[in-house]
Amino acid sequence: MIETIKCADTRSIHESYVFPAQLNNSQIQFGGETLRILDANAGLAGVKFLPGNLSFVTAGYDHVQFLSPAQPNDILTCISYVTGSSQRAVEVFTKFLTTDTKTKEVKVAFLAFCTLIVTNKIDEIHFPQLIAESDEEKYLLETYEERLKARHSELADNKTILGHLNLK
């Protein structure tokens, strides 16, 4: 059983070129394509973090921010890694960077946190302790509890909203 794991060892990286078929009517990458890449990449980070006997599902995304559009001829780099865990939940941070192929300028295009929920029985779940190395990783691990509290509050709000939804 793995007792500790570095954030970097959970890192999953996806790189691709922004092609015309992936553009919306504003000639920037379609948001659904970004979310498809996010979900797959975050899942890979989860697989790298979790012991092999554990299964999980994606439960939600928060702090989703489209900051800068991915445009034709950009290289898109999606980087995901685990930034926290508690009970059944695993948090994965994801950032998308764009690199302009002409100027080589790099921009942060998108940020999000993904929550994965382990579906095994609670007594089967053991998460390794995360070790942060970079300043970014240290900051994200140090602020995990704040995001977890906000997530619990949002879940309570969602239950209230669900109680008022019309199912017709």
DSSP state of 30: -
Under the banding of pLDDT at 50, 70 and 90, the label for residue 152 is confident
Query: Residue 132: its pLDDT value, please?
Result: 98
Per-residue pLDDT tens digits for 67-117: 998 888 889 999 999 999 999 999 999 999 999 999 999 999 999 999 999
CB contact at 8 A, 43 and 66: no
pTM, two decimal places: 0.91
CA 41 to chain centre: 8
Distance CA 155, CA 157 (A): 5
pLDDT, mean of residues 149-166: 88
Q: How far apart are the first and last CA of the chain?
A: 49
Query: Residue 1: its pLDDT value, please?
Result: 62
Show the DSSP H helices in 63-115 as ranges. Answer: none
Tell which CATH architecture fits domain 4-164: Roll (3.10)
Give the domain ranges of the chain. 4-164
